[in-house]
Amino acid sequence: MIDWVGDVLVGGIVSFLLLQLAYRWRLVWGAAAYFREMRSAARPSTAPPANGRPPLGHLPSLELHLPVYNEPIAVAGLLHAVAALDYPRDRLRVRVLDDSTDDTSERIQQLVDPLRKGGLAITHEQRSHREGFKAGALNEALKTATAPWIVVLDADFRPHPGFLLALFDRPYDDEVAFVQAQWGFVNEQDAVWTR
């Protein structure tokens, strides 16, 4: 009886170690693929764009959907970052999807009016309910979306000016359903936890 228990324990330990080895190998393989991709992405193109800018002919029309709920301070930073985006204004529409129940809505309106007067196609949209919360606001906005691409930015996001140009630096074919960008953090170096 004791030998049987020992065999089961050894078998379990060996199985566990083999699973760990397979998992570690997958991590190594993934890291190698990542570095291969980074190396190929870092190669200069054979024909540099004129004036250091990519050709703008292939850039699609976009809608930026900005879901917001009771974030008066965060939304100001987001709208300032969105206003600084280096993307053709005739191909960009910004929709602030505001479900706020506090003074965030007033703050948004104060920020949106000057941006609209400055040439940014931006709307401040409020629902009469919060059904579905953030997902509900995004789903409702999709019903009236007119652009082929939707970019979702949360209230605490701060995209750099070239973010959209980098995201759409090449045309995507019809097989691409979505693209996710890497996140960065404003407070990345502030503490051990954020590092």
Other beta carbons within 10 Å of 153:
19
Q: Identify the weakest region by mean pLDDT among 54-58, 86-90, 107-111, 119-123.
A: 54-58
Sheet holding 122-126, edge to edge: 122-126, 92-98, 62-68, 149-152
Q: Residue 123 pairs with which residues in a beta bridge?
A: 95
User: For residue 47, is pLDDT > 50?
Assistant: no
Considering the chain, what is the average pLDDT of its residues?
Answer: 84
pTM of the model: 0.68
Span 168-181, pLDDT tens digits: 887 777 788 888 78
User: For residue 31, is pLDDT > 60?
Assistant: yes
Rounded CA gap, 191 and 135, in Å?
A: 31
Contact 58, 87 (CB under 8 A): no
pLDDT confidence tier of residue 46, bands split at 50, 70 and 90: very low
